[in-house]
Structure 1
């Protein structure tokens, strides 16, 4: 990353910036309405079982669907709070919000591919609007440096620990060639330990993602090439080896500014139970990011593809 400041001032200025954003984020989310575990106990008591069965069908038909659901939930929460502005199919029409369905589905998807369980607080409403501008500005991108990514998490009220733990969802994710081309033709060899396995992997990546701009943009590769369909901690083990597919992921371990993130990567690489526990806690925390306006002006969509007429 290029900074127009002397290197010796970077850690101090970066810390000051992150503290300011952290304080701001707490004020933004301090008044969010509370969610409860038994919100649908009387109105739709079977909702958890319904979503579970639907997710079993989807994930058994294609394990990659688990990562797609988790990614959709992440994007929904980061844009304007978990408010269902991303469209999904609805169950219990008129009763259960699409935002809640997506939150439950993300939890069940993780479980179905070997990940941890966590209780899901419920009671969100669906937004009547979606924001392309917020999606473009709030969501981390594959080629971002560590500090901008941390700032985006802090803005949502999520800590550095949440960032590293939630990034572990990439253990079941796929990435498009256009999002990792710069990485594999750039500093991949600099960070990688150059083992025979990683050398073979890099060769395969380059064969399906040519350096020429535009060619193979939509070809995809697993972000965890060791166990792509299993939710485990091998994602972090790949970062230790310098084999992270996305620049934004490898930065967690390799960035000179990432002392805390590096230590967490090492911890989760060696302690899968610690990763599972923190991932569960961070998913609940992310799921509690709500859009206050949706509680006042939101709705429960009868069809998750459209706002109610």
Structure 2
């Protein structure tokens, strides 16, 4: 991959086996045996700050706030017409320096000489830091990791809703969750709900909005299935009980893209690659555009989150997952 020069990457392979033994309070004592895992999700998150330096010993150094810590998701079609499926984290201008609606297609914009894209450490320092970074789950497979090579040839581990774990071709990235979370620390249930947000009705839980917060996820009545993938009128659906959604999955051929997370909400706080070739003279070619997805800024009010699942695992069953971290 060389998407926007994000060509430095680390692939992380994880092998997960359900031993059937549960230690609920992590005190070293098994509280339950023979336990089937019904809805496993995996998630990675990052708090964009982009306004601090590190000392040579790794400790926090100076701080210079008022840059624009930003994350987003690029779903623009590639040369084959398939979504790039690339979450990104980057630095932009201070939100206070943006004018609403001044950019292409109404994107917030800063005047010439004030954009400072890629700068960090504001308050006079403004160190150049033109780096995009990100992470995304790209595969989930059945069985153990091979002794050598990759698990690419192994069968996919489907979600409990019968979907591909990630999505392939024109559906690339459809089934993972990418969002700004609500920073709900020490609440395992909220964490789990946010990690499978793509499967909920996004209008009900507010996940289409850039004002997303934990409030809607804490209201059980909002936790209903996405109507594109599920039949919302199916018998047996219990709000707040994702396992009850399994019987409501639409037949193959009638399923649409689940849209409970932010990936395709089309709202941009900052986007300097929006419709380049149609809006600016001598602009980069179309391959450099960022026309689909979202971007959102941070103010110590949440984390950028990428997640995969949910999966079930019988006692003794093993699966493996591949996560990629990248930058450039």
> Which of the five TM-score ranges fits, normalised by the shorter chain?
under 0.3
Bigger fraction of residues in helix: 1
Report which of the two has the higher share of strand.
2
Larger RCO, structures 1/2 (Cα 8 Å, 6+ apart): 2
TM-score (ref. length: structure 2): 0.26
Rg (Cα) greater in structure? 2
TM-score by length of 1: 0.27
